[in-house]
Amino acid sequence: MSTTTPARAPSASAPVPHLGRLDAVGYLICLGGIVRRELLRFFNQKERFFSALVRPLVWLFIFAAGFRNTLGVSIEPPYQTYVLYEVYVVPGLAVMIQLFNGMQSSLSMVYDREVGSMKVLLTSPYPRWLLLLAKLIAGVTVSVVQAYAFLGIAWFWELDIPTIGYVAALPAFIASGLMLGSIGLLLSSMVKQLENFASVMNFVIFPMFFASSALYPLWRIRESSETLYAICMANPFTHAVQLVRFALYGQFDPLSCAVVVGTTLAFFTLAVVAYDPGRGIMARRGGPAGDNS
């Protein structure tokens, strides 16, 4: 019988203590914990790290070498001379890593939701938008590490990127990572099950990547189709690539920056709405996943 008097029932008027902090310091601890978990998971999955690098390196070493002569690239900003095709594709491939990483983070959000660890995250006392922002920052941290690992290997390819460019590109990589992560975050809220994710990858990653300035300058696209050119210009991935491309040569492209920041804000806001307990995915579902009562 559980009729024993409790040893330490809180009194009526005393505030009930709480071990954690709910202020800004507490939130930073929370943010640090989420980033740490993401990095732990990332380094635990070494094959994920290597496969993320292999993809762009195959493009750079094989594809770009093969197309070197076919796809000669004429002078256009930020380049001041004719550049080799390998030089041209490097920024696009670095941002491609971030694109895949954004989708990978999104995939892990869907996975977290299926296995239930998303519930644990969402019962944290911090506001939901701060939790999603922390998730986003965690994903961006991983994607920036990957992008620089790629640049480190690509450095041996005589890319002529000035040293200052590697430093100047950091904020650009962070901005593009945030944008692609926000898109992934919203997608994760729209995908109901993990199995559906492959088709989303096909409908998002490939069109975004190919309809952009990652692999070829847009004037070449324009020569064949004005419509396709307009689509490429409307593609936020184009602007993420251009932002990084200019930054790597110590230059700033305001249009790309505005598009990247605007897209990030729009998609992150939509993701916050989607994860809102009253309006979002949780409310629309016919009940919690995996539960039977």
Task: Identify whether the C-beta of residue 245 lies closer than 8 Å to the C-beta of residue 176.
Answer: no
As measured in angstroms, the least distance from the Cβ of 282 to other proteins is 5
Distance from C-alpha of 173 to C-alpha of 139, rounded to nearest angstrom: 12
Q: Give me the 174-213 binding string for other proteins, x by CB under 8 A, dash otherwise.
A: ----------------------------------------
Among 8, 75, 81, 223, binds other proteins (CB under 8 A): 8
Query: What string of DSSP letters covers 75-138?
Result: --TT-SS-B-HHHHHHHHHHHHHHHHHHHHHHHHHHHHHHHTHHHHHHTSSS-HHHHHHHHHHH
Ranges within 125-144 binding other proteins (CB under 8 A):
125-127
Question: Using omega within 30 degrees of 0 as the cis cutoff, is the peptide bond preceding 6 cis?
Answer: no
For residue 103, count other CB atoms closer than 10 A to its CB: 22
Q: For other proteins, which stretch binds (CB under 8 A), given 9-17, 51-59, 175-183, 241-249?
A: 9-17
Q: Which residue has the tokens 């922002």?
A: 133
Assigned token pair, 279: 């309006």
- By CB under 8 A, residue 47 contacts other proteins: no
Q: For other proteins, which stretch binds (CB under 8 A), given 13-21, 52-60, 139-147, 161-169?
A: 13-21
- By CB under 8 A, residue 276 contacts other proteins: yes
Per CB under 8 A, residues contacting other proteins are 1-13, 16-23, 25-27, 29-30, 32-34, 36-37, 40-41, 44-45, 115-117, 119-127, 276-279, 282-283, 285-293
